[in-house]
Chain A
């Protein structure tokens, strides 16, 4: 079945450092979504990328969708303690046309030392 892998599994940074997490799918994706889950919280939708090579920015967060639509990345510039949490990428399951039938990666846990 479809697999979505994320690296690294954990990342610890000093406040002010940059952070990047990478997402790779075993199959081509029609779109990719990113979610943030704070410790003890629930996933919160951040963004969706649809086009090959698409780049979107949200303040200090930059999201990229690969040309082959099989990989994606999330980059945070100058991390803050409020960035702490687990970042998940998710893509439609193989054969799934529904937006909601998502396969999630295992997530990257980000901790920020003040």
Chain B
């Protein structure tokens, strides 16, 4: 079974520039998550989709971050304009459902450095 695919794996941008990350979840998984992991910390949930609807985006900095999941499959996370503190690994994850008992599978992550 193919895992969660993410691209690009690495990105370096200057502050105030924009960046977009793409995620393709495991086939058939209805729930998709974007987590932000700053070096030395645990992952923090940014947004959760159930199919193509947003379940939770309470921790998404909406003035600069946006995410969409068109057609309930692939998802894109965008940052515009980027700040230095956005340097982190952006982890996409998916699960077959949103309830207990559904294992969450993480992708390899997209490493962002803002200079």
Q: Which of A97, A99, A102 contacts B101 (CB 8 A)?
A: A99
Closest 9 CB pairs of A and B: A104-B42, A42-B106, A98-B98, A43-B106, A45-B103, A99-B100, A99-B99, A104-B43, A88-B42
Give the shortest distance, in Å, between A64 (CB) and chain B (any CB): 18
Q: Nearest Cβ in chain B — how far from A33, in angstroms?
A: 8
Residues 41-66 of chain A: 1 if any B CB is under 8 Å from the residue's CB, otherwise 0? 11111001010000000000000000
Contact B42 A100 (CB under 8 A): no
Tell whether B115 is near chain A: CB-to-CB under 8 Å.
no
A50 & B91 in contact (Cβ 8 Å cutoff):
no
Residue in contact with B100 in the complex, picked from A31, A43, A104, A107, CB distance below 8 Å: A31
Of the A-B pairs whose beta carbons lie under 8 Å apart in the complex, a sample of 18, sorted by A's number, is A4-B42, A42-B106, A42-B109, A45-B103, A45-B105, A88-B42, A90-B42, A99-B97, A100-B31, A100-B33, A100-B48, A101-B48, A101-B55, A102-B43, A104-B41, A104-B42, A105-B42, A107-B42
- The verdict on A99 contacting B98 (CB below 8 Å), with A45-B103, A106-B42 known, is yes
Q: Is the CB of B93 within 8 A of A100?
A: yes
- Which secondary structure dominates chain A's binding surface? loop
* Complex Cα spacing A88 to B106, Å: 14
Given A41-B108, A45-B104, A106-B41, also A98-B99 (CB < 8 A): yes
Interface presence of B45 (CB below 8 A): yes
> Inside 8 A of A41's CB, which chain B residues have their CB?
108
State the Cβ distance, B12 to closest chain A Cβ, in Å: 17
Chain B: which residue is nearest A96 at the CB level? B56
Given known pairs A42-B91, A42-B109, the reply for A99 and B104 (CB within 8 Å) is: yes
Judge whether A80 is part of the interface by a CB distance below 8 angstroms: no
Q: How far is the CA of A105 from the CA of B41 in the complex (A)?
A: 8
Asked if A100 and B104 sit within 8 Å, CB to CB, the answer is: yes
Which of A31, A43, A44 has most chain B Cβ within 10 Å? Answer: A43
Contact present for A101 and B100 (CB under 8 Å):
no
